[in-house]
């Protein structure tokens, strides 16, 4: 296939997508399904807190409206914490503590970002520090569950009750510790 032929086929395919042609619906469903699966792999604890059905429904809507901004689908979902926080203004506003769910999703995304950082480009060694409010009120059992779902996470004891958490990668392990400023 020549380059011109390839470009022409991409243009035809794009036109089908933009015109909402039903021929491409299986591709769209596959695209959304792959992105929902990527979110399910990254946000394990978030899904557990929300429940599988609610998480899948929200992930599907997210995948339909938020395109990937990185080639690596392991890093898909950077805007999910904000999307989840916005649910406090929607019809499911009383369904759960959306601030807490958003902070859990933020933590899981940043852990994934460190875990999948490109060591060849010297990424992942820098610490990422976040301020939390809802997570600071959680007891140790929540953090134990996070490490069960993400076995490569090591959490320092001083994280429990802390409002400032730093996340960094050391080899294949992701470390979480508290920093001054609580």
Average pLDDT per 10 consecutive residues for the chain, totaling 182 residues = 78 72 70 91 97 96 90 93 95 90 95 83 75 85 92 90 90 87 54
96 contacts: CB under 8 Å, gap ≥ 6: 49, 50
Enumerate the domain spans of the chain.
Answer: 3-178
Closest CA to 174 of 83, 108, 91: 108
Beta strands at 173-178 and 153-155: parallel, antiparallel or unpaired: parallel
Q: What is the pLDDT of residue 121?
A: 66
Tell the burial category of 167 from Cβ atoms under 10 Å away from its Cβ (0-12, 13-18, 19+). Answer: buried
Query: What's the pLDDT at 12?
Result: 79
What is the reported pTM? 0.82
pLDDT of residue 103: 94
Q: What is the Cα–Cα distance from 154 to 157, expressed in whole angstroms?
A: 10
Exposure of 95 by Cβ count < 10 A (0-12 exposed, 13-18 middle, 19+ buried)? middle
Name the residue among 51, 13, 55 with its Cα closest to residue 38. Answer: 55
């Amino acid at each position: 296939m020549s380059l011109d032929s390839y470009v022409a086929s991409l243009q035809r395919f794009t036109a089908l997508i933009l015109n909402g042609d039903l021929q491409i619906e299986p591709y769209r469903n596959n695209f959304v399904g792959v992105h929902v699966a990527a979110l399910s792999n990254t946000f394990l604890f978030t899904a557990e807190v929300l429940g599988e059905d609610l998480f899948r429904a929200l992930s599907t809507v997210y995948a339909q409206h938020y395109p990937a901004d990185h080639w690596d689908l392991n890093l898909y979902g950077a805007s999910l914490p904000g999307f989840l926080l916005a649910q406090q203004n929607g019809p499911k506003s009383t369904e759960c503590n959306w601030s807490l769910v958003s902070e859990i999703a933020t933590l899981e995304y940043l852990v994934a970002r460190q875990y999948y950082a490109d060591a060849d480009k010297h990424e992942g060694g820098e610490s990422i520090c976040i301020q939390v409010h809802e997570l600071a009120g959680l007891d140790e059992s929540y953090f134990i569950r996070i490490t069960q779902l993400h076995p490569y996470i090591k959490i320092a004891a001083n994280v429990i009750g802390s409002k400032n958490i730093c996340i960094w990668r050391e080899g294949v392990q992701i470390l979480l510790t508290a920093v001054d400023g609580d």
